[in-house]
Structure 1
């Protein structure tokens, strides 16, 4: 889209209520504040939503401040490549980038996935996430998801508790694909301690076992289960450093700064022989929609963020038979 098109930017913070508190290693979330950007041209508008990256001090308030500081530059007209030069990785660039994609779709009369070179966006099997609660509560949560084909267990680094969480879910769902997300909760020693239980339970993926900054400890670690980098990979320049340490790259638009960077990360990961996963921070269906485009190119999909909301946007993403689907009327509608 031409950088000479003048724009009007609207940016605001919304608070999305959760159905119940959500726990991961070191954090408990009761609601989700998000920054929502709307870009208006004379002919159309485009929207983007970002929650930011909580562990990098990138909250919605900072997103708003960042965008406001660049208002004059943005409103004079900006394209996605100029945006990559203007803003660093993170929520502000994500919200703006996604708004520019939707605006281009509406200007061109082509769906976003078509602009990305994807023939058709189809439903994808997604993981459904279980909070790092007591094993009995984790079991109840799993029982409430009989339709799920894939389950992801949040863990907190308590070796015995994590073992039991995995065991009770596998006993309940012998048929399901199961992955676990340590959210940096392990050391190499504790990872080795839980690994036999993970193998016995048929766990298929382990996300971010060690703390960010400790990736070198995985050099030469012969994991029987693929390891996915989440906090250890933010944007495109981090991808090469994962080789020999991780087998999977978890791409999140809030981390990398939007759909444009995410697509570049997919290409680089494939070039380096790595598998690709797409996830999202918690947010509404408006945040899920651009990630759903990336999902068309991924080996693993983790796009259940809106499931945890007491109220989502309408229309919103839908879930059926364990798959996520995003109607074109939600984001990037060209009608």
Structure 2
């Protein structure tokens, strides 16, 4: 079957600024992919991985070119012939959506995933001065957020975490070092942060430097993010990490993301499902996969100034099944 495929770039403003150790963002450019068989239409969204050099324009162009070169397009062809990344994610998820509409079924049913139920999602506290992060945490807790994710930089991290804990003493905490702890004693840092209800540390060392964690006995589970892209990475990383963070943009779609989840389960690793900055369309397939996760970080839409009209509903720190969950 020959499908028509289109891809467009959309710009969505961020609510204020989104700040991590690599810099600040005032907007996010996403790729919206539409696939049609002439009767049914599948739609999906992906966010280019900027730290790997992807751009929305190049992803959109890559989608159209790949579809033109593969007229009998399906998910297996896509997985075998297109490199991982946001372009493949958009096209893969659009194909899943198309099949759901062709078969008049829900994504979770088609993918063999658990029936969706409300999930507690982390809410991100951007990198900043401790007093600013404390104020953001206090406001987030007032708004009902129960799981906060702190962006760290490798400098003054203990002060930042302590400040957030003061601002939201009852909140559960995740910290994201964003590869900034290469020169630090990871176990010692983790021991200090454990005092403040920190229950997970993401990517303490640079991708490719995971051996620095060899022999580290951390009292807080360590999670591979930038180091873990596809299912081929999971077995290697099991020697250094307790958890993997699955993001569909990194994996290149729901198809590979599910393979990652199954590989993690086979290796005894726990699962986190995360996202880039995105609208509700971008996290729709991730929400289905997140039913298998121990930690969920799908707050991308909450960090935008506005979302799509048929958005997910967030209530008291939870993301609720609704129109997009089906």
Task: Provide the residue aligned with 2:76 in structure 1.
Answer: 81
| Alpha-carbon distance between aligned partners in 1 of 2:241 and 2:131, rounded to the nearest angstrom | 31
Task: Note if 1:330 corresponds to 2:317.
Answer: no
Task: Provide the residue aligned with 2:176 in structure 1.
Answer: 181
Q: Deviations over 1:289-326 (max 9, x none)?
A: 11001100111100000111111101101111211124
Task: Provide the residue aligned with 1:151 in structure 2.
Answer: 148
| Alpha-carbon distance between aligned partners in 2 of 1:71 and 1:199, rounded to the nearest angstrom | 49
Pick aligned residue for 1:140 from 135, 139, 145? 135
Q: Deviations over 1:109-144 (max 9, x none)?
A: 110000111341111011111000111111121122
RMSD of the TM alignment (CA)? Answer: 1.4
Task: Provide the residue aligned with 1:279 in structure 2.
Answer: 274
| TM-score of the superposed pair, with normalisation by structure 1 | 0.93
How far residue 37 of structure 1 moved from its aligned partner, in angstroms, is 0.4
- Long gaps (5+) in structure 2: none
How far residue 190 of structure 1 moved from its aligned partner, in angstroms, is 4.9
Contact 1:38 1:45 in 2 (8 A): yes
**Equivalent pairs, count:** 324
Task: Provide the residue aligned with 1:9 in structure 2.
Answer: 5
Alpha-carbon spacing, 1:119–1:247, altered in 2? closer, same or farther (3 Å) = closer
Of residues 88-97 and 65-74 in structure 1, the stretch that sits farther from structure 2 once superposed is 65-74
Alpha-carbon spacing, 1:119–1:295, altered in 2? closer, same or farther (3 Å) = closer
| TM-score of the superposed pair, with normalisation by structure 2 | 0.96
Contact 1:48 1:96 in 2 (8 A): yes
| Alpha-carbon distance between aligned partners in 2 of 1:82 and 1:325, rounded to the nearest angstrom | 33
Pick aligned residue for 1:124 from 91, 96, 119? 119
How far residue 69 of structure 1 moved from its aligned partner, in angstroms, is 2.1
| Alpha-carbon distance between aligned partners in 2 of 1:325 and 1:130, rounded to the nearest angstrom | 21
| Alpha-carbon distance between aligned partners in 1 of 2:29 and 2:48, rounded to the nearest angstrom | 9
How far residue 264 of structure 1 moved from its aligned partner, in angstroms, is 0.7
Task: Provide the residue aligned with 1:300 in structure 2.
Answer: 295
Pick aligned residue for 1:255 from 250, 254, 270? 250
